[in-house]
Amino acid sequence: MEWFTTVLYLLGATIRVSTPLIFCAMAGLISERSGVIDIGLEGKMLAAAFAAAVVAALTGSAWDGLAAAVLVGAMLSLLHGFACITHRGDQVVSGVAINIIVSGLTVVLGNAWFQRGGETPQLQAEQRFMGVIFPGTDNISHLPLLGPLYVKVLSGQSLLTYIAFLLVPAVAWLLYRSRFGLRLRAVGENPAVVDTAGISVDFLRYRAVVLGGILCGFAGAYLAIAQNAGFQRDMTAGRGYIALAAMIFGKWKPLPALYACLLFGFLDAGAPLLQGVKIYGNTELPVQLIQALPYALTVILLAGFIGKAIPPKAIGRPYIKER
Amino acid sequence: MNATPAPMPRWLEIFGLPLVNLLMAMIVSGLIVLAIGENPFAAIGAMAAGAFGDLYGIGYTLYYATNFIFTGLAVAIAFHAGLFNIGGEGQAYIGGLGAGLMALLFDHSLTMWPMLALGLVASAVFGAAWAFVPAYLQAKRGSHIVITTIMFNFLAAALMVYLLVNVFRVPGSMEVVSRDFEASAGVPYVHALLTAIGIEMPQTPLNLAFLWALICCGLVWVYLWRSRGGYELRTAGLAPKAAQYAGISPNRVTIEAMLISGALAGFLGFNEIMGNHRQIVLDFVAGAGFTGIAVALMGRNHPFGIILASVLFGALFQGGSEVAFEIPTITRDMIVVMQGLVILFSGALAYVNRPLLEKLWKLYQARKNAKAAAVVAPVSPAAAPDAPVALAEETATLAATPAAPEPEALETTPMPKPAPVEEVLEVVEAEIVTMGPGAEPPPAAPRRKRGPKKSKRKPGEV
Amino acid sequence: MTAPAPSTSTETAGGEPAPAVELIDIDKSFGAVHANRDVSIRIAKGTIHGIVGENGAGKSTLMSILYGFYEADRGAIRVNGRPVRIRSSKDAIAAGIGMVHQHFMLVDTFSVIENVMLGAESGMLIQGGIKKARAEMQRLERDYGLSVDPDAVIGDLPVGEQQRVEILKALYRNCEILILDEPTGVLTPQETDQLFQILKALKERGVTVILITHKLREIMAITDTVTVMRHGAVVAERKTAETDREELAVLMVGRKVRMAPDRARARPGEVALGVAHLGLTDAFGVKRLDDINFSIRAGEILGVAGVSGNGQSELLEVLSGIRPPTTGVMHMLGRDVTADKPCSPKRMRRLGVAHVPEDRHRLGLVTGFPAWESAILGYQRDRAYGFGPIINTAAAARDCGKMMEAFDVRPQEPNLGSAKFSGGNQQKLILAREMARMPKILLVGQPTRGVDIGAIEFIHRQIVAMRDEGTAVLLVSVELDEILALSDRIIVMFQGRIVGETTGDRADERQLGLWMANAHADGPEAPPPGLPPLLAPELSSRSGKPGGRPGALPPGMKIRPRK
């Protein structure tokens, strides 16, 4: 039964690791479907994580931390929007700028406020989003297979994790069933159509970008006050980019993007298990190879060896009325 | 589009605008410093003193600048080809691997100059090779180069950790570094050379790679604006379809530009590994690849501008260390923030400060004119024809005998001969790419290109 | 800048009390270009009002102002007698104004119904809107004969149907005033007839129609009143019944129209360019070129006529080496250029093939370059511009100066940015570049598109001069007049095939027009005789399109430049 324990662990870990990726991928998806490239996911998530940890530490409330994270995510999105939507700046450059500013600023502020080399104080359990225990775990746990699955994987995850998984159908619904989604998809394909239909292109894109920022806020809050107990320097560690890759791999569609997030999460969660595994007699599988696998896989996927991803037609191009 | 074109002289555009952008970044940084309870002016003072106060500071400043010139040029070359190379970080890392590998293999057997030459070439080849894969995938499989180069940064980091831990580490040592190179694999230090000719200079990592960086600037300039390859590269960057029409393969340009870009980034590894550390270490790039983006943007993708911007950022990094020493609450990360702000203001918000500056200039001109009007009769606006804007693209209807319609007459009025200074600036201007891949400047107020600088508007006309 | 206000004494037709639209002293400048000069127009309710003028006369700008795309610098707008302030399309829609744009404002990946309801969804959710839109579309189909499959995806529809979706969009928003900007540019004659039927139906139900066009035939065929614009100002207003084509033409251009530059008869020599069974299939499996056969002799101009998008662009691309043909053979100057290495523009240039591309801005020159750099585009590897890898910039600039002088490019400044030249001067520079090396074969696409009148004749003369020098010229143009004026022989393309051939002196407009529409063919495209066009759209557009596969579409209906 040892393998079963491993599987349970792996499933649980995959879900945990995937959570911030899902938030970020959905954030990027909404933004990019409106035609605005969102390479600043990493920075927004990092800033949100910082804000969440700081506020949770100060007020002692995880909810305050989440609110702060969402606020900071939205503010940075507004900055991105100001640069790229209002002033038609380059979207990739703006995203890179946000990432760099945040990576420096979080450490500067953290250091100035807490003098811990950029870390925030360790959070107590009540300042975090701890695991939610589902009802009936005691009664079901003895059931073979299903019991442990329910107790160890389905139950006991952070509230934010459940929100992340519910978010995917919600985003799909928003995109394909609501008026906002219809307009959003239209503006990402051909903004002039939206403009001549009497809808403000800028306002629409702003809403999309800010919505993305809010979701980045959730991602950051999850990292800092759910998965971990505080902020550490550069704690996102490239997850924003991985989420971006997952979204592209998911062809800018919610459900496939979720699968991509789970796949990358699975790789990340599985890496420690493969440590020390011997291949070819005495040679160990290098840890770094496993760590690099998501990135390598992303490159292979991007190389188009699996299907072809067609981005929204107007992506990356600021909308300028033609004469 | 404004009805009145905003006149802005080229010198203001080329030198003023980056300065204004820098100033904005400094102001925001100052506010942050203020927010954490420190005095920004004290910080600036400490920074300037630390960067330029003595030969020690200058040495470090230029040593950092060397790195930034390489990565700045790398980003700029890619920009000119319409590509955004975010992978400078990884390419520099692998470039350093190339130099270090050569040193470890041959430092016993080769004398200094052949060793250095080999290291230089290896850093370029390794850097270029690391850029080749994303370039190839972009050209042949259409993978978004921004994403793939980011991924390659992570891959480079993983590879280097693996190699250092498992291959290069001195057996038994806990430190994750390679063995020290022999003296032959060390680029001569500037302080050593200066001391040899009798000038006292404290020990700094500044080495002859700085000279090579300057030479690279010259070479890049010649390549971009004086060579057929550079012409084709810029054509493909500005107008991909025109390139195709002209028989230029966009794929070839993509690969060529990225190879050059990667090689330039690789030289950073040469400067760090053979110039400074003289052993292979971890994380020696330390974000210089991203600083290259800021440098290229501030230097407007022109080698000369890149030198200035690199020295500036070198000073920020060196001065920043001094500040961190004197005011512990302001860590070096503050410089990272500034760097991000520079990218924000001169890259993403490139079109914000520009109209602002134009407005200020107009205001200044209006004032000057008001004074001049008392003496000289105003020049009619019609006498200063504007650069014609291509008329709306429509299908011509009826072929007809010419009758010189009014817009045509307006457009073909001979332009006044420009002053020589303007001529030079115009050439410089023509060499500047405003922004990254495929980005066309929005139709902000059309810029005046030529014509007399004064009397743009009648006094009293609003 | 203050403009000399032209006296625009508009003769109001009829003088009804409350016109549907009243534009009063509209004035608009774009930088140095004065697009509209104190334009005043009154359009009576329930009429079809034409606005004619040449390119750049300011028609489109005026209508964009009425539709809120731009805001006028000065002037007022009244709708049904009430003053309105139109700052955005939203205001225009609220005022009951709808517009069918020249480049359709449709999302290609959306279905017809999604496009129709976009911006007028009636509720936060799509579902309810779709139901309402479906019902409304059925009503509109009944009332106006506007039949389109609501669930078809726009990208799969032929141009004519896409245009109908545009009209549906406007009507769905209860528009009472419908603006159509050059609606027939991309339509076949049959589709044009169907459109006119629809417009008449609209008029009968009280909708006011504003038709912007430069085609006088259309003005005469359908409008009640017509306004003539020139250089941004209104020059005349007429009742259509009281005027004729000749008068309007004179008003439009301000003088008697004269065609055809003086030219001697062609003295054709050897065959310089010959193609046999040339075919090109694109990535979607659509045959862009289908069994093309023709030859051009030295000293001869072959005109290629056709409605835009029927394979002419692809023909130019194949002949200039930009795209390799899928099938067939190309002989150039006695050499089979398809047999050996894959052809490339570089190789074609070396052979003596010059190419003046259709898309001046994106292909012909690099707008970010100074003129001299644009003047070596395609010849950047030429020995004349230095040895080895380095370009002799002085030589290149000198060469550019010479070209500018020879072709009267103004201003004569090689260092000036390419974008700073007017369309005509840009085109002259490209022509100069391509003609400078005395090519054996000259491929010319839309040489006078967007070119000011003054330059048109110059360009035509240069093309004829090239022919007289012994160059074989292939001229692609959607302007029949241009084809007729210059060509020694004419071929007509339709859906990637050559459907007609004639000589320059025997050609007549009517015959060419029939070929261009493929009207004489008894293929599935032709409607059954006698059936009124209004009832036939189903037949004409749907036929040969099983399941809406793009592959089965008439190619001419699909590819349109859209930005």
Between C338 and B237, residue with greater pLDDT:
B237
pLDDT score recorded for residue B403: 36
Query: Which other chains touch chain B, taking contact as 3+ CB pairs less than 8 Å apart?
Result: A, C
pLDDT score recorded for residue C548: 34
Q: Which of A302-311, C49-58, C239-248, C545-554 has the highest mean pLDDT?
A: C239-248
Determine the residue of chain A that is closest to B294 in CA distance: A97
SS3 C356: strand
Q: Which amino acid is at C534?
A: L
| Measured CA distances, A76 to A125, B297, C11 (Å) | 29, 21, 58
**pLDDT at residue C9 above 80?**
no
Task: Show the DSSP H helices in C95-244 as ranges.
Answer: 112-117, 126-144, 159-172, 189-204, 216-222
**pLDDT at residue C208 above 80?**
yes
Between C551 and B130, residue with greater pLDDT:
B130
Q: CA neighbours within 13 Å on the CB side: how many for B18?
A: 20
**Measured between alpha carbons, how far is A50 from A38 in angstroms, rounded to an integer?**
20
Which helix or strand (DSSP H or E) is residue B194 part of? Answer: helix B190-196
Q: CA neighbours within 13 Å on the CB side: how many for A241?
A: 21
Average pLDDT, integer, range C127-147: 88
**Measured between alpha carbons, how far is B257 from A2 in angstroms, rounded to an integer?**
53
Determine the residue of chain A that is closest to C100 in CA distance: A196
Cβ atoms of residues B75 and B295 within 8 Å:
yes
Nearest to C162 by CA among C532, C537, C497: C537
Between C73 and C14, residue with greater pLDDT:
C73
Contacts made by residues A198-205, CB under 8 angstroms, sequence distance 24+: A198/C68, A198/C88, A198/C89, A198/C90, A198/C91, A198/C92, A198/C93, A198/C94, A198/C119, A199/C90, A199/C118, A199/C119, A200/C88, A201/A319, A202/A85, A202/A86, A202/A319, A204/A34, A205/A34, A205/A35, A205/A36, A205/A81, A205/A85, A205/A319
Nearest by CB to residue A90, choosing from B329, B335, B347, is: B347
Nearest to C403 by CA among C368, C367, C373: C373
Q: What is the per-residue burial (b if ≥16 Cβ within 10 Å, else e) of B103-129? A: bbebbeebeeeebbebbbbbbbbbbbb
**Strand C327-332 to strand C271-281: parallel, antiparallel, or no bridges (unpaired)?**
antiparallel
Average pLDDT, integer, range B397-423: 38
Nearest to C106 by CA among C119, C124, C90: C119
Between B255 and C187, residue with greater pLDDT:
B255
Q: Report the gap between the CA of C120 and the closest CA in chain A (Å).
A: 8
Q: Which of A274-283, B248-257, B442-451 has the highest mean pLDDT?
A: B248-257
Under an 8 A CB cutoff, do A196 and C70 touch? no
Whose tokens are 């500037």? That residue is B190
Determine the residue of chain A that is closest to C61 in CA distance: A323
Q: Report the gap between the CA of B201 and the closest CA in chain A (Å).
A: 33
Under an 8 A CB cutoff, do A323 and C125 touch? no
Q: Would you list the domain boundaries of chain B?
A: 10-351
C353-366: pLDDT as tens digits: 999 999 888 899 99
Cβ atoms of residues A49 and A234 within 8 Å:
no
Q: In what order do the strands lie in the sheet with C489-494?
A: C353-356, C441-445, C472-476, C300-305, C489-494, C497-503
Instruction: Give Cα C218 distance to the centre of its chain.
Output: 16
Average pLDDT, integer, range B200-225: 95
Determine the residue of chain B that is closest to C357 in CA distance: B245
pLDDT score recorded for residue C286: 75
pLDDT score recorded for residue C263: 73
Within 10 A of A216 (CB to CB), how many other CB atoms are there?
Answer: 38
pLDDT score recorded for residue A306: 63
Under an 8 A CB cutoff, do B242 and C362 touch? yes
Q: Which pLDDT band, with edges at 50, 70 and 90, does B441 fall under?
A: very low
pLDDT values of chain A reduced to their tens digit, one per residue, 323 residues: 678 888 888 899 999 999 999 999 999 999 999 999 999 999 999 999 999 999 999 999 999 999 999 999 999 999 999 999 998 888 999 999 999 999 999 999 998 899 888 888 888 888 888 888 888 777 777 777 777 788 777 888 899 999 999 999 999 999 999 999 999 999 999 999 999 998 999 999 999 999 999 999 999 999 999 999 999 999 998 899 889 888 887 889 999 999 999 988 988 888 777 776 776 666 777 778 877 877 887 788 778 776 666 788 888 888 887 64
pLDDT score recorded for residue C531: 33
Cβ atoms of residues C467 and C301 within 8 Å:
yes
Q: What is the per-residue burial (b if ≥16 Cβ within 10 Å, else e) of C90-126? A: bbbbebbbbbbbbbbbbbbbbbbbbbbbbbbbeeebb
Q: Let me know if the fold of C21-253 is the same as that of C262-352+438-521.
A: yes
Judge whether A253 is closer than 8 Å to chain C, CB to CB: no
pLDDT score recorded for residue B115: 96
B272-288: pLDDT as tens digits: 999 999 999 999 998 99
Residues from chain A that touch C106, judged by Cβ atoms under 8 A, are 190, 193
Q: Which of A21-30, B175-184, B347-356 has the highest mean pLDDT?
A: A21-30
Between B432 and C286, residue with greater pLDDT:
C286
Nearest to C56 by CA among C313, C231, C188, C196: C231
Q: CA neighbours within 13 Å on the CB side: how many for B408?
A: 20
Tell me how long chain B is.
Answer: 462
Helix %, strand %, coil % of chain C (to 5): 35, 25, 40
pLDDT score recorded for residue C261: 61
Instruction: Give Cα C285 distance to the centre of its chain.
Output: 26
Contacts made by residues C56-60, CB under 8 angstroms, sequence distance 24+: C56/B391, C56/B392, C56/B394, C56/B407, C56/C231, C56/C452, C57/C229, C57/C230, C57/C231, C57/C232, C57/C252, C58/C229, C58/C231, C58/C232, C58/C233, C59/C181, C59/C212, C59/C229, C60/B392, C60/B394, C60/C102, C60/C181, C60/C182, C60/C212
pLDDT score recorded for residue C520: 52
Q: What is the per-residue burial (b if ≥16 Cβ within 10 Å, else e) of B181-212? A: bbebbbbebbbeeeeeeeeebeebbbbbbbeb
Residues from chain A that touch B141, judged by Cβ atoms under 8 A, are 302-304
pLDDT score recorded for residue B411: 37
Cβ atoms of residues A209 and A77 within 8 Å:
yes
pLDDT score recorded for residue C57: 78
| Measured CA distances, B264 to B59, B220, B253 (Å) | 22, 10, 16
Average pLDDT, integer, range B384-392: 36
Judge whether A201 is closer than 8 Å to chain C, CB to CB: no
Q: Which of B76-80, B248-252, C145-149, C244-248 has the highest mean pLDDT?
A: B76-80
Nearest by CB to residue A179, choosing from C88, C99, C124, is: C124
Nearest 10 degrees: Cα torsion C225, C230, C234, C238? -30
Judge whether B420 is closer than 8 Å to chain C, CB to CB: no
Average pLDDT, integer, range B394-398: 32
Whose tokens are 């009829």? That residue is C14
**Measured between alpha carbons, how far is C231 from B232 in angstroms, rounded to an integer?**
39
| Measured CA distances, B80 to A98, A117, B303, C382 (Å) | 23, 40, 12, 22
Judge whether B242 is closer than 8 Å to chain C, CB to CB: yes
Q: Report the gap between the CA of A313 and the closest CA in chain B (Å).
A: 14
Angle, helix B88-106 to helix B250-269, in steps of 10 degrees: 60
Within 10 A of C336 (CB to CB), how many other CB atoms are there?
Answer: 11
SS3 C507: coil
Instruction: Give Cα B31 distance to the centre of its chain.
Output: 26
Pick the CATH number of C21-253 from 3.40.50.300, 3.90.550.10, 3.50.50.60, 3.40.630.30: 3.40.50.300
Return the ∠ at Cα A118 (arms to A120 and B93), rounded to 5°.
Answer: 135
Between C508 and C14, residue with greater pLDDT:
C508
**pLDDT at residue B212 above 90?**
yes
Nearest by CB to residue C478, choosing from B234, B381, B395, is: B395
C92-102: pLDDT as tens digits: 999 999 999 88
Between C103 and B242, residue with greater pLDDT:
B242
Q: Which amino acid is at B336?
A: V
**Measured between alpha carbons, how far is B3 from B445 in angstroms, rounded to an integer?**
8
Task: Show the DSSP H helices in A34-158 as ranges.
Answer: 41-59, 62-81, 91-114, 137-140, 146-148
Under an 8 A CB cutoff, do B349 and A286 touch? no
Residues from chain A that touch B336, judged by Cβ atoms under 8 A, are 100-101, 103-104, 107
φ, ψ for residue C295, nearest 5 deg: -145, 150
Nearest by CB to residue B381, choosing from C1, C33, C457, is: C1
**Is 3.40.50.720 the CATH number for C262-352+438-521?**
no
- CB-count exposure of residue B367 (10 Å: 0-12, 13-18, 19+): exposed
Residues from chain B that touch C451, judged by Cβ atoms under 8 A, are 396
**Measured between alpha carbons, how far is C502 from C371 in angstroms, rounded to an integer?**
39
Residues from chain A that touch C109, judged by Cβ atoms under 8 A, are 185, 189, 313
Determine the residue of chain B that is closest to A291 in CA distance: B158
**Measured between alpha carbons, how far is C494 from C478 in angstroms, rounded to an integer?**
12
C158-191: pLDDT as tens digits: 888 899 999 999 999 989 999 998 887 677 777 8
Under an 8 A CB cutoff, do B161 and A104 touch? no
Residues from chain C that touch A197, judged by Cβ atoms under 8 A, are 89, 93, 105, 118-120, 169
Q: Which amino acid is at A240?
A: G
Under an 8 A CB cutoff, do A322 and C101 touch? no
pLDDT score recorded for residue C199: 93
Weakest mean pLDDT among B63-67, B90-94, B118-122, B151-155: B151-155
pLDDT score recorded for residue B326: 87
Return the ∠ at Cα A246 (arms to A242 and A250), rounded to 5°.
Answer: 170
Average pLDDT, integer, range C390-403: 93
Determine the residue of chain C that is closest to B225 in CA distance: C391
Under an 8 A CB cutoff, do B335 and A244 touch? no
Q: Which pLDDT band, with edges at 50, 70 and 90, does C517 fall under?
A: low
Under an 8 A CB cutoff, do C377 and B242 touch? yes
DSSP string, B345-364: IIIITHHHHHHHHHHHHHHH
Nearest by CB to residue C453, choosing from B247, B400, B445, is: B400
Residues from chain B that touch C450, judged by Cβ atoms under 8 A, are 390-396
Query: What proportion of chain B, given as a percentage, has pLDDT over 90?
Result: 56
pLDDT score recorded for residue B64: 96
Residues from chain C that touch B414, judged by Cβ atoms under 8 A, are 410-411
Under an 8 A CB cutoff, do C67 and A193 touch? no
Q: Would you list the domain boundaries of chain C?
A: 21-253, 262-352+438-521, 364-436
Nearest by CB to residue B154, choosing from A93, A118, A295, is: A295
**Measured between alpha carbons, how far is A36 from A44 in angstroms, rounded to an integer?**
15
Average pLDDT, integer, range C466-473: 93
Judge whether A135 is closer than 8 Å to chain C, CB to CB: no
What the block records as the tokens of A162 is: 């459940």
**Is 1.20.120 the CATH number for B10-351?**
no
Cβ atoms of residues C290 and C498 within 8 Å:
no
Under an 8 A CB cutoff, do C73 and B389 touch? no
A268-292: pLDDT as tens digits: 888 777 776 776 666 777 778 877 8
B62-110: pLDDT as tens digits: 999 999 999 999 999 999 999 999 999 999 999 999 999 999 999 999 9
| Measured CA distances, C538 to A160, C94, C208 (Å) | 54, 32, 26
